[in-house]
Amino acid sequence: MTRYLLLVTLLMATPVLAAENCLKPKIDYQRDCAAISNLNNLPVLSAVDDCAIITLDARSHWNASGLRLEKNATYEFQLADDDTWCDASIVTNYKGWQVSKNGQAHGGSCPAECSKCRQGEAVNGPLVNKGKLGNALLELAGSFCRKPDSHYFALIGVVRGEMYDTRFEFSKQPTFSPKADAELCAYANDLSFMYGNNSGSITLKVTRLK
Ligand SMILES: [Ca+2]
């Protein structure tokens, strides 16, 4: 009986992936990325070509993926241009949206409840024009986004382990090799107190390359 329990425990602790299947880790949408008591409890992609599918919620501050990235392994991140989510009425994808600098605008407006509406408009990230004053205010507010040097709503990755904490923009980081074991987290770049008007979700695929 004890031997059977040990086997079950081992199987649960180290999920084995079939080549055509991706792991779906248990995402915690409420937990702070740093508030994980034991990284070793999280599953890993143990072999090359193993993959995980992670659904990222626009309203979550961290999207704690439940997936542990391993030191010195290399991972590929895949996101789709036509996979969209919304910042209030602005529809965009993982690249986020920008404030118009010359009065031009394209895409981005969604008249009703946003989930996957007007796909395609957001391929390069919408350019939003709210008029001279509105744009100036948006630019100013943008400097208070959680990652001020990235676009509004750009998907930001956070990899946080013991003595290790790094953030990056997924659109500029198609592959990644962590310097320490850490959980992968991600969020839509926004003002900390402005997540309440976000909606929708996008999907991230993580594949181990080496
Ligand atoms: Ca928002």
Per-domain residue ranges of the chain: 22-208
Beta bridge partners of 165: 160
Q: How far is the CA of 112 from the centre of ligand 1 (A)?
A: 16
**Dist. CA 113–CA 33, nearest whole Å:** 29
Q: How far is the CA of 94 from the centre of ligand 1 (A)?
A: 14
**Dist. CA 75–CA 137, nearest whole Å:** 38
Q: What angle do CA 161, 97, 137 make, to 5 degrees?
A: 100
Q: How far is the CA of 124 from the centre of ligand 1 (A)?
A: 19
pLDDT along the chain (210 residues), means of 10: 45 44 95 86 96 97 96 95 89 88 60 41 65 89 93 94 85 93 96 96 96
- Measured torsion, CA atoms of residues 62, 87, 207, 32, in degrees rounded to the nearest 10: 0
Q: How far is the CA of 86 from the centre of ligand 1 (A)?
A: 8
The pLDDT value recorded for residue 6 is: 44
Q: How far is the CA of 7 from the centre of ligand 1 (A)?
A: 46
Q: How far is the CA of 73 from the centre of ligand 1 (A)?
A: 34
The pLDDT value recorded for residue 123 is: 47
The pLDDT value recorded for residue 117 is: 39
The pLDDT value recorded for residue 154 is: 95
